[in-house]
Amino acid sequence: MAVGARSGHDEPEERPDQHGESSVAMRDDSPGRQDADPADAEGETGQSGKDAKKPRSFWKELPLLIGIALLLALLIKTFLVQAFSIPSDSMMNTLQRGDRVLVDKLTPWFGSEPERGEVVVFHDPGGWLEGEPTPDPNVVQKFLSFIGLMPSAEEKDLIKRVIAVGGDTVSCKEGGKVVLNGKPLDETAYIYPGSTPCGDKPFGPITIPEGSIWVMGDNRQNSLDSRYHQNLAGGGTVSNDGVVGRAIVVAWPVTRWATLPVPDVFDQPGLSQAMTVAPGAAGLAGALPLVLWRRKRLTSRHTAQ
């Protein structure tokens, strides 16, 4: 009996061992515990290290950023705006020697043409800058000019004010004012103080060919503009295709920052040639109903017969 009793007490002493083995098995199967398999932990760490991307250093990304900036500058210069330097006194006081202007190159891409009163930059039509010295920029200046960060020093460009466009008739007698489509222009708002409209070089009347413009400097007695090139191809006019764009703002120096709007004198009534053709267009519009009515009446007569 005593032996039987001891055997009965021995069974409970073995059960904790069984429960203990079961607990260890559960700890071994549970993720994230200290007793987890070291090989599995190492595998998970290695995989997460591969997935995480190490950020590139600033110095490695700097050339890429510079390249993008240069590309944007080139695109802006080609399609949007470009800086130009004023090399002479021909546009004083509107523009002074050494000013930097920004030229709008975007609107011409959409078919916009120069308008009266605008200050425009245009390529030499041929012979206008003959004999003028051309600067010899260094390599850095050439590169900065190419991408538009500096005004071009090699291109032979000019800057003047548009006085007349295609279809206009313009003239100026000695001692008088510039006359555009029969309207005298009051140019006191932009002409250089002390200058005469054309005292040094009277001209006209001249009818401007379609697709061309007539340009003059604001400093009339110091500007070799359209008046002085009537013996060249185009008769002193400039083709619209040769216009780079409209100067919209003086960007440098900051003390001379200013916009370049169209003077009010070019907005006066009756200045546009379109006004002269309006009566003809109105007459045609009025005659059209009469012609249609007459044709209808004749058709009705033939039908009745």
Determine which helix (DSSP H) or strand (DSSP E) holds 164, and give its type and residue range. Answer: strand 157-165
The answer, yes or no, to whether the previous bond of 263 is cis (omega within 30 of 0) is no
Which residues are known to be catalytic?
90, 160
205: nearest Cα among 234, 166, 178: 178
Cα 141 to Cα 231: distance, rounded to the nearest angstrom: 36
The answer, yes or no, to whether the previous bond of 205 is cis (omega within 30 of 0) is yes
**Mapping DSSP to helix (H, G, I), strand (E, B) and coil, where does residue 181 land?**
coil
Residue 80 — left, alpha, or beta (φ > 0 → left; ψ -120 to 50 → alpha)? alpha
Place of tokens 């425009």: 120
Cα 191 to Cα 161: distance, rounded to the nearest angstrom: 10
185: nearest Cα among 173, 197, 193, 174: 197
